[in-house]
Amino acid sequence: MDDLSGPAGPLYQQVYDAVMARIVSGELAPGMMLPSEFDLAAQYAVSQGTARKALSKLELSGLVERHQGKGTFVATTTDETSLFHFFRLRQSDGAQVIPQLVSETVRKRPANAREAAALGLAARASVFEVMRVRSINDAVVCAEQSVLDVVKFPGLKDRGGLPNALYPLYQRSYGITIARADEQLRAVMVPEAVGGMLALADNTPVMEVERRAIGISGGVMEFRLSYYLTQNLHYAVSLR
Amino acid sequence: MDDLSGPAGPLYQQVYDAVMARIVSGELAPGMMLPSEFDLAAQYAVSQGTARKALSKLELSGLVERHQGKGTFVATTTDETSLFHFFRLRQSDGAQVIPQLVSETVRKRPANAREAAALGLAARASVFEVMRVRSINDAVVCAEQSVLDVVKFPGLKDRGGLPNALYPLYQRSYGITIARADEQLRAVMVPEAVGGMLALADNTPVMEVERRAIGISGGVMEFRLSYYLTQNLHYAVSLR
DNA sequence: TTGTGTTATTCTTATACAAGAGTTATTGCA
DNA sequence: TGCAATAACTCTTGTATAAGAATAACACAA
């Protein structure tokens, strides 16, 4: 029977925190089944209802999935959910479109000031830069530059072809789960370097998206700068 | 004691639906106090815990606010929350900025095809068009065109100056609560008409935002087309 | 293969008690 | 009497527990 040392609010919150810690630490890895409500209750010396409340809260935060009759499982970010959730480009009719990879380059280089600040690294620390160009219906529609701390993602450069969705890879191969992403959007003239890659005229307006992908423990795990062509597509948001 | 006719899942869900209906109908208006957990339990012949679960779910959906020792109240959309939530323009440092109204015109006209479709109206039905230009730090930053069904918002044209945030007005004066808004974003060259209003050069890239504001009953209550200048500001989103 | 029981899991409901907030009554004193 | 401090009470939501129902998966026999 485990102990809930430290008076930290209600019991269910303490259980929530304890299980959360076990998920963050990797002891409970994505896809694994959690102890049942009764087991958890026994472990922390609380009632099943209290354990249940903690699990419900974890489900609400998106960290676990529950299925009646089966059990509770640590959430896994699948390619589908990851793409649907974090890739916001949609067709005019609102339909989801799956972008195809056109080109990809990975290199190691020092971070610039903005990237180092975003990732919480020292100036000019080593980072991996993943540069990708994507197309939809054979039309090139976006260029993405992802920047990652080499310490957190060792050997990324030598993996060869990366999957369409990067976040499931982060989770599977590096134990890093992306919980949310904050984005800053601007309408700008396409920068020269990007215009070359996408074969655009100089005066094309594009959407610039600056993303900070944040892990479950709260730190910025990836800094991404993207350029979207929004002639036939749009970026969809739902405010609620 | 009220009856929960119609077998619709668990008891707490039936209570949730019943109370929801009372809110949508206006019987429970924004700001009003709901019956206590015990009263509600008595009304629907369930236990206090079951009524409590229904209320918690309503709170989760954002329809009510609960305060220990005080009671449960139908949520009111204040100017602050409305602005913060539905106005996504932020400064580079992420700080919220309050836009000031520069000009405003309201007129009645027939809806165009796109507006009629969005609002679920017949072609060329009468609508109010609210056209507003806003500034931040004395710099003009956006033009918004809101289109509303004249039937749902009678007398809007003759109200004189409208408040900075429209949604609290919809709620207070017309009993229409906006629950969420779906937006479609595109980077475009500023249209000529808009460029004139904002005093911009022809080739300025701006962000075009097409919004459908949706009421608690699910229908589109407002169609809005906005143009944002994103030279010194950005549109902030959090994906989770 | 099909059906039936068994077991393990989450889900639903009910009850009791704790804690916060506001109102009313009472007390003490000038 | 007037008034303020305070105590008691009542109404509210929050927390914890327990017991039974619903669901899913599996084993095993016909």
B222, pLDDT greater than 60: yes
The domain containing residue A59 runs over which residues?
Answer: 11-74
More confident residue, A215 or B5: A215
Model confidence band, residue A7 (pLDDT cutoffs 50, 70, 90): low
**Token pair of A214 as six digits:** 């944040």
Whether B189 is covered by a domain: the verdict is yes
Q: Residue B180's beta-bridge partner residues?
A: B214
Residue given tokens 């619709």 in the structure block: B8
Same domain flag for B97 and B151: yes
Q: How many domains does chain A have?
A: 2
Nearest to B116 by CA among B148, B145, B164: B148
Asked if the Cβ–Cβ distance from A186 to B236 is below 8 Å, we say: no
**Cβ-Cβ contacts under 8 Å for A215 (sequence gap 6 or more):** A176, A177, A178, A179, A221
Nearest to A147 by CA among A133, A129, A166, A124: A129
B187, pLDDT greater than 80: yes
Asked if the Cβ–Cβ distance from A205 to B210 is below 8 Å, we say: no
Asked if the Cβ–Cβ distance from A180 to B88 is below 8 Å, we say: no
Same domain flag for A188 and A219: yes
CA A217 to chain centre: 12
| CB B48 under 7 Å to nucleic chain D | yes
Instruction: Give the count of Cβ contacts less than 8 A between chain A and B.
Output: 97
How far off is chain A from B182, nearest CA to CA, in Å? 4
Model confidence band, residue B7 (pLDDT cutoffs 50, 70, 90): low
Nearest to A186 by CA among A213, A212, A209: A209
Asked if the Cβ–Cβ distance from B238 to A186 is below 8 Å, we say: no
Whether B165 is covered by a domain: the verdict is yes
* Region of residue A62 (left: phi > 0; alpha: psi -120 to 50; beta: else): left
B1, pLDDT greater than 50: no
Alpha carbon distance B20, B66 (integer Å): 15
- Give me the pLDDT at residue A230, please: 96
Which nucleotide has its C1' atom closest to residue B14's CA? C12
Whether A199 is covered by a domain: the verdict is yes
Model confidence band, residue A2 (pLDDT cutoffs 50, 70, 90): low
**Token pair of B205 as six digits:** 């890239």
Same domain flag for B191 and B129: yes
Phi/psi at B114 (nearest 5 deg)? -65, -45
B66, pLDDT greater than 60: yes
A185, pLDDT greater than 90: yes
CA quadruple A200, A202, A203, A206: dihedral positive or negative? positive
Q: Which of A42, A74, A106 is the last residue of a domain?
A: A74
* Region of residue A181 (left: phi > 0; alpha: psi -120 to 50; beta: else): beta
Q: A122 by DSSP, 3-state: which?
A: coil
B24, pLDDT greater than 80: yes
Alpha carbon distance A85, A230 (integer Å): 18
What's the average model confidence in pLDDT over B50-63?
93
- Over residues A139-151, the pLDDT tens digits come to 999 999 999 999 9
Same domain flag for A87 and A70: no
Q: How far is the CA of B140 from the C1' of C29 (A)?
A: 65
Same domain flag for B90 and B136: yes
Same domain flag for A212 and A138: yes
Same domain flag for A50 and A162: no
| CB A8 under 7 Å to nucleic chain D | no
- Give me the pLDDT at residue B3, please: 46
Model confidence band, residue A132 (pLDDT cutoffs 50, 70, 90): very high
CATH number at residue B30: 1.10.10.10
SS (H, E, C) B123-192: CCCEEEEEEEEEEECCEEEEEEEEEEECCCCCCHHHHCCCCCCHHHHHHHHHCCCEEEEEEEEEEEECCH
Please report, for residues A28, B127, B212, the alpha-carbon distance to residue B123 in angstroms, rounded to integers and kept in the order given: 57, 11, 18
Residue given tokens 């003239």 in the structure block: A189
B2, pLDDT greater than 70: no
Whether A4 is covered by a domain: the verdict is no
**Stated length of chain B:** 240
- Packed helices B11-25 and B48-60: angle between N→C axes, nearest 10 degrees: 50
- Give me the pLDDT at residue B8, please: 66
B220, pLDDT greater than 70: yes
Q: Which of B32, B47, B74 is the last residue of a domain?
A: B74
- Over residues A75-120, the pLDDT tens digits come to 998 888 888 899 999 998 888 888 999 999 999 999 999 999 999 9
A52, pLDDT greater than 70: yes
**Cβ-Cβ contacts under 8 Å for A239 (sequence gap 6 or more):** B85, B86, B88, B180, B181, B182, B183
Report, in ranges, which bases of strand C sit under 7 Å from a protein C-beta: 8-16, 19-22
Q: Residue A205's beta-bridge partner residues?
A: A189
Q: Write b or e for each residue in A164-180: b if 16 or more Cβ atoms lie within 10 A of its Cβ, otherwise e.
A: bbbbbbbbeeeebbbbb
**Residues above pLDDT 90, as percent of chain A:** 84
**Residues above pLDDT 90, as percent of chain B:** 82
What's the average model confidence in pLDDT over B155-175?
93
Nearest to B236 among A62, A184, A189 (CB): A184
- Give me the pLDDT at residue B82, please: 87
Alpha carbon distance A235, B118 (integer Å): 18
Same domain flag for A92 and A129: yes
Nearest to B148 by CA among B113, B121, B185: B121
Residue given tokens 């808004």 in the structure block: B181
- Give me the pLDDT at residue B41, please: 93
CB B221 within 8 A of CB B176: yes
Model confidence band, residue B84 (pLDDT cutoffs 50, 70, 90): confident
What's the average model confidence in pLDDT over B56-84?
90
Q: Which of A52, A74, A96 is the last residue of a domain?
A: A74
What's the average model confidence in pLDDT over A180-190?
97
B13, pLDDT greater than 80: yes
Residue of B nearest to A53 (CA): B53
Alpha carbon distance B203, B185 (integer Å): 18
Same domain flag for B43 and B124: no
Mean per-residue pLDDT over chain B, rounded: 92
Asked if the Cβ–Cβ distance from A88 to B239 is below 8 Å, we say: yes
What does DSSP assign to residue A86? H
Same domain flag for B118 and B226: yes
Same domain flag for A97 and A212: yes
Same domain flag for B97 and B153: yes
**Stated length of chain A:** 240
- Give me the pLDDT at residue A50, please: 95
- Give me the pLDDT at residue A160, please: 81
- Give me the pLDDT at residue B171, please: 94
